Structure 1
Amino acid sequence: MQGDAQREVPGRYYDGITSRAHRVVLRVENGEACLAGEAERRVPLAQVRVSERTAHAPRKLTFADEACFEPDQRAALEALLHATGHRDSAVVRMQQSWRAVVIALGTLLLVLAVGYLYVLPAGAKLAARLLPVSVERQLGQGLLGVLDRRVFDASKLPAARRAALAQAFARMAPPRDGAPPYQLVFRHSRIGPNAFALPSGDIVLTDQLVELLRDDHAILATLAHELGHLHERHLTRRLIQGSVVAAAGTVLFGDASALVAGLPALALDLRYSREAEQEADDYAAAMLRRNGIGLVHLERLFTALQELEDELGAPPPYLSSHPPSAERLARLRQQLD
């Protein structure tokens, strides 16, 4: 409030100590809000807070000691405020304009969409690269044990067969320096052919996928794909993204249980983005080339998965976490041409 006005506004004054309403008249003179009647006080206008205007409730004036004045008629107080030159802040005016609210909401949704689609993945990628490998290993610690209890049994492949595959993959050179350490783990799966990498450094290969491919080089191509996920730290990036989203939900809705309960689910949900799968496919192709293995074996992998998908009529668990095999085949064949 500012300036002087001679209008008088009847209303009720509450001293902030008792609940009694004192009948008073408010006027503004010499830069002060003046109350007269059952209570008397003069307060500089700069020390008076004017509440926001709402559709139905009248404004009230609050003083520094939390005493307040409420007018009998909102129109009378509005006229007095106008006479003193009072003007609501830009934020308040925007809140009272449906156009401004719609624009603000649209802007917020745009910022959230851009942040989720572009800023968050880029930030998660940078954070994952800066994260020490030891911390990443701790993130994945215990996940294999959880999976063993839920979906895996001990491998039924002969020990010699497992050793031969492990040694063949160990002899392969990664496509670039800096490949992380890994442990190749064989399991018998209750959910069919599968292969995936965990942040712990475990690359899990199921008996069913070995039996499906019947081509050691295609199996090596599969393992190279999973090593690509480890090298690019895809699952760690996804865990970071999911944790940020869960934390944002906690901030917005005040329920920390969603963050705590969601982390194990995030760790066990092995779905990657389409970009991550393409990066892993490219990594596998580069690794095969470096080791003198033809990309036709990677093609055989995708073909076998496509045939399995066609046979079942719906993607099995391994395929459901990857782009359609036909799409991966088409992309690979462009490199073969």
Structure 2
Amino acid sequence: MKSVSVIFYDGVLSKPHQAELMALDQYSVLVKYHDHGMKNQKLQTAQMILIGALGKKYPVIELDHDARIEFLNNEIPEWLELGHKNFQQKIWKLEKTPSLIIFSMVFVIALGFAVLKWGIPMAAKIVADELPENTLQKLGNQAQEYVMDWTKPTQLAKGQQAQIQSEYLSKIAQGHPAKIIFRNGERLGANALALPNNTIVVTDELVELAHSDQEILAVLAHEQGHLIQRHSLQQALSSLGFSILYIAMTGDSSDLLSSIPVAVLGANYSRKFEQEADLYALNLMYKQNIEVAHFANFLQRLNEASINTEKDQQQHEKQTDRKNSINLDIWEVLSSHPATAERIQMVRDFELKHSQSNIQQPSK
């Protein structure tokens, strides 16, 4: 009779028994062990659940009456007919294969990279697009409260505000008008923020930095692009990507909605979102016969102003104590959109492309 030595737990006591596992027929086995005399137990293979070898752990058979059979090596007898036996054996052998270990590590790293680079942003876009308007309004209102606390009432004349709003409605809104709020930005400086509650906050410093109404309209068109495509919400959700994964595993979303408003303000737009908003603004300006050069000129001036502001902040940090430096970090969260050379060049290229296109069109 075919047999193999095993460790057997009878399911009554936690005491291990040295035992012999013997084949009776295709559907049953016999376990013989000493416990105040020789004992035999007949077991049905249909009642057995095989737990394959893993690392240095040998295979184990769990039984439905809490009994347990532990093998003394990694080899499961061929005569023992168990479900998934061959599959479990293959897994253990593959686990011991160095090339597979290396491949698994590379795969896990690649998968993690893919989730961070594409998975979370894609999930953020889907969630942002599907959020209902009342949720957007609530999140945007909370973010707006932070901005109101961190800024002061505007010093712009009522007539100047009305003029900017009028031109925005006639040339930029395109049937989707946002609420324009003017604020004195203080250390926020020349800036504009698109909030999920369909609000654009414009600082006095930005208006003062502009040399023409067309430059202000270019900025508003850029922010309108962020609003239309819900970039601020997407970026916030992406920055909270690990939280989203945690929520997916635990189901606890109690803290997510409360953290999104701060993330909306704190997450700098990705290069992709900035390019999309820039392209939206450029196409809209071209459609409204506003020279896109105004956008490039303002980006250049804004970049220079941002550099000077950063230098001032660094100097301010050196002259203040740690407490004030921590408070300053709050303002660094609301950093201005980076007016990089790449974005300015994009505007110049757009201007050149469409100017050449106009020249090539036959006169009517």
Name the TM-score class by shorter chain: 0.7 to 0.9
- 1:140-289 maps to which residues of 2 (within 5 A)? 140-149=140-149, 151-174=150-173, 179-191=175-187, 192-251=189-248, 259=256, 262-289=259-286
35-44 or 196-205: which moved more?
A: 35-44
**What CA deviation, in whole Å up to 9, does each residue of 1:257-282 have, x standing for no partner?**
87466434322224212121112112
319-328 or 269-278: which moved more?
A: 319-328
189-198 or 20-29: which moved more?
A: 20-29
Report the alpha carbon displacement of residue 124 of structure 1 after superposing the two structures with TM: 4.0
2:75 and 2:280 map into 1 onto residues whose CA distance is 72
2:80 and 2:22 map into 1 onto residues whose CA distance is 10
1:57 and 1:270 map into 2 onto residues whose CA distance is 47
2:57 and 2:127 map into 1 onto residues whose CA distance is 50
**What CA deviation, in whole Å up to 9, does each residue of 1:63-100 have, x standing for no partner?**
221211345xx24xx55624547534244444443432
**What CA deviation, in whole Å up to 9, does each residue of 1:172-197 have, x standing for no partner?**
254xx5x4331100111132111111
Q: Give the secondary-structure state (helix, strand or coil) at the position aligned to 2:19.
A: strand
- With normalisation by structure 1, the TM-score equals 0.81
Is residue 2:321 matched to residue 1:322? no
* RMSD between aligned residues: 3.2
Q: Give the secondary-structure state (helix, strand or coil) at the position aligned to 1:100.
A: helix
In structure 2, relative to structure 1, the CA distance for the partners of 1:118 and 1:55 (3 Å cut) is: closer
Structure 2 equivalent of residue 19 of structure 1 = 14
**What CA deviation, in whole Å up to 9, does each residue of 1:24-81 have, x standing for no partner?**
332223232211233321112332233322444443332221211345xx24xx5562
25-34 or 307-316: which moved more?
A: 307-316
115-124 or 156-165: which moved more?
A: 115-124
In structure 2, relative to structure 1, the CA distance for the partners of 1:135 and 1:8 (3 Å cut) is: closer
102-111 or 156-165: which moved more?
A: 102-111
In structure 2, relative to structure 1, the CA distance for the partners of 1:169 and 1:254 (3 Å cut) is: closer
Report the alpha carbon displacement of residue 296 of structure 1 after superposing the two structures with TM: 2.4
Is residue 2:56 matched to residue 1:65? no
Q: Which runs of 5+ in 2 are unaligned?
A: 314-331, 353-364
2:285 and 2:7 map into 1 onto residues whose CA distance is 85
Q: Which runs of 5+ in 1 are unaligned?
A: none
**Number of aligned residue pairs:** 324
1:140 and 1:287 map into 2 onto residues whose CA distance is 25
Asked if the contact 1:183/1:203 (under 8 Å) is kept, the reply is yes
- 1:282-301 maps to which residues of 2 (within 5 A)? 282-301=279-298
1:283 and 1:315 map into 2 onto residues whose CA distance is 33
Matching residue's letter, 1:188: N
- With normalisation by structure 2, the TM-score equals 0.76
2:91 and 2:55 map into 1 onto residues whose CA distance is 16
Structure 1 equivalent of residue 114 of structure 2 = 114
Matching residue's letter, 1:51: I
In structure 2, relative to structure 1, the CA distance for the partners of 1:310 and 1:36 (3 Å cut) is: closer
Report the alpha carbon displacement of residue 233 of structure 1 after superposing the two structures with TM: 1.8
Q: Give the secondary-structure state (helix, strand or coil) at the position aligned to 1:300.
A: helix
Structure 1 equivalent of residue 349 of structure 2 = 334
2:307 and 2:54 map into 1 onto residues whose CA distance is 62
Report the alpha carbon displacement of residue 14 of structure 1 after superposing the two structures with TM: 2.0
Is residue 2:3 matched to residue 1:7? yes
